[in-house]
Structure 1
Amino acid sequence: MGESFSKKENRNKKVKAKEDKAQRKKERKMNNNKGKSLEDMLAYVDEDGNLSTEPPKQTRKTEIDSKDIRIGATPRLPEDTTRTGMITFFNTLKGFGFITDDKSGESIFFHINQLTEPVKERDKVSFIKEKSARGYSAAEVKKMDPRTKKS
């Protein structure tokens, strides 16, 4: 009894797949990049930060005294904490609001307990920017005189 058409087709597909696999294996062996010398694998960085195959020129080397090298984070200068801004939102019933900082444009939260005098929306104010658990908040919020722009 002979094979059915689908069995022959499946057998031919398996034979073809084995031949393709053997061909790919042969190509990989021909194009094998293993066993390169150390010189072929090295890459150098030139003075502009670009990779090159040539070592950098020795003439451009400068000696650096080890005492001049500082390791660690650079100390931050204390930033000016007194800022100015405009009250963009204020809810008197809930007792909080937001000030848009003139310098950075960010929205800073304030609580009614931090007000030195009554304020309303669109008032120009000066305040101290403080770091809090939830980001920055404003303290010592003072209304500024609109004519003199001073608090």
Structure 2
Amino acid sequence: MAKSVSYNKREVEKKKQEKRLEKQKRKEERKANAGSGSLDDMIAYVDENGVITDTPPDPVQKQKIDIDDIAVSTPKKEDIGEPEPNKGRVEYFNADKGYGFIKSTSSVDKYFFHISSAPASIDEGDKVTFDLERGKKGLNAVNIVITE
């Protein structure tokens, strides 16, 4: 048959009491090993390589930084120079339909252009300068000027 219920209850209570005592001992050990708990023990420093250490940095190696040299925002408009116009070569041009593609000399990108934003005398192989404008399907070449 089954064991008596009172025996099981006593065993469960005994185990709970042992766990409480063990937990209390661990708590007392943590308090004893915590150290002084002063602020100096809790401070950490970061060295020039980004490593966290417990030793303070050497004041001799400290560098002076001028507050005016720190830029916290985007550069002012006058600081940014005028962008150079893009350069390229007309790789394909269909005079009947009035459109073509320019291959950039600075990258492998190709840009669509319409005859309305190009001179009427444009032809395949012409070297050109152009600006870019966002179109429905990507960047389009506009303000096209033939150079030679």
Shorter-normalised TM range: 0.5 to 0.7
Aligned counterparts of 1:77 and 1:83: Cα–Cα separation in 2? 18
Give the partner amino acid of 1:48.
Answer: N
Within the alignment, does 1:125 sit opposite 2:127 as a pair? yes
Aligned counterparts of 2:38 and 2:135: Cα–Cα separation in 1? 57
51 and 140 in structure 1: CA distance in 2 versus 1, 3 angstrom threshold: same
- Cα displacement (A) at 1:93: 5.4
Greater Rg over alpha carbons, structure: 2
1:57-77 per-position Cα deviation (integer Å, ceiling 9, x unaligned): 111123333334343222322
Give 5+ residue unaligned stretches, structure 2.
3-18
What residue is the counterpart of 1:51 in the other structure? 52
Q: RMSD value over aligned CA atoms?
A: 4.4
What residue is the counterpart of 1:114 in the other structure? 117
62 and 95 in structure 1: CA distance in 2 versus 1, 3 angstrom threshold: same
Aligned counterparts of 2:81 and 2:89: Cα–Cα separation in 1? 23
What residue is the counterpart of 1:78 in the other structure? 82
Of 132, 137, 141 in structure 1, the residue corresponding to residue 140 of structure 2 is: 137
- Return the structure number with greater helix share: 2
- Cα displacement (A) at 1:143: 5.0
What residue is the counterpart of 1:66 in the other structure? 67
Give the partner amino acid of 1:71.
Answer: V
What residue is the counterpart of 1:5 in the other structure? none
Which runs of at least 4 in structure 1 moved beyond 6 Å after TM superposition? 28-31
State the TM-score, normalizing by the size of structure 2: 0.55
59 and 99 in structure 1: CA distance in 2 versus 1, 3 angstrom threshold: same
Percent identical among aligned pairs is 30
51 and 137 in structure 1: CA distance in 2 versus 1, 3 angstrom threshold: farther
Aligned residues: 127
State the TM-score, normalizing by the size of structure 1: 0.54
Aligned counterparts of 1:97 and 1:50: Cα–Cα separation in 2? 56
